[in-house]
Amino acid sequence: DVVMTQSPLSLPVTLGQPASISCRSSQSLVYSDGNTYLNWFQQRPGQSPRRLIYKVSNWDSGVPDRFSGSGSGTDFTLKISRVEAEDVGVYYCMQGTHWPHTFGQGTKLEIK
């Protein structure tokens, strides 16, 4: 199975400051069709997960543009340009290139 490793696992951030989460995969996530099926999800406390970014860098509708995704191959990053209070929660990367699909362990973002 492809192992997804996120860091850090805990991320205290001051309001208005940037935040960055790394996600590394144990194998390349580039599929034979040229796409990279790496997605990012946010789970606010007590809520269902919500997709933020799909295929590395594509925003979902309604996702603030302070969120951005980047990376390639085995190395990916989710960035928040200026953290707001509503960003508190756990962030997961997930790969859909290889079966079985696998999630990272999650990164808990909190306000300092």
Partner 1 sequence: QVQLVQSGAEVKKPGASVKVSCKASGYTFTSYGISWVRQAPGQGLEWMGWISAYNGNTNYAQKLQGRVTMTTDTSTSTAYMELRSLRSDDTAVYYCARDALEGWGELSSWGQGTLVTVSS
Question: Residue numbers of the site for partner 1 (CB under 8 A)?
Answer: 1, 35, 37, 39, 41, 43, 48-51, 54, 60, 90, 92, 94-97, 99-106
- Residues 101, 108: Cα–Cα separation, whole Å: 21
- DSSP reduced 3-state for 34: coil
Is the Cβ of residue 20 or residue 43 nearer to partner 1 in the bound state?
43
CB of 53 to partner 1, least distance (A): 11
CB of 86 to partner 1, least distance (A): 18
DSSP per residue, 88-101: -EEEEEEE-SSSSP
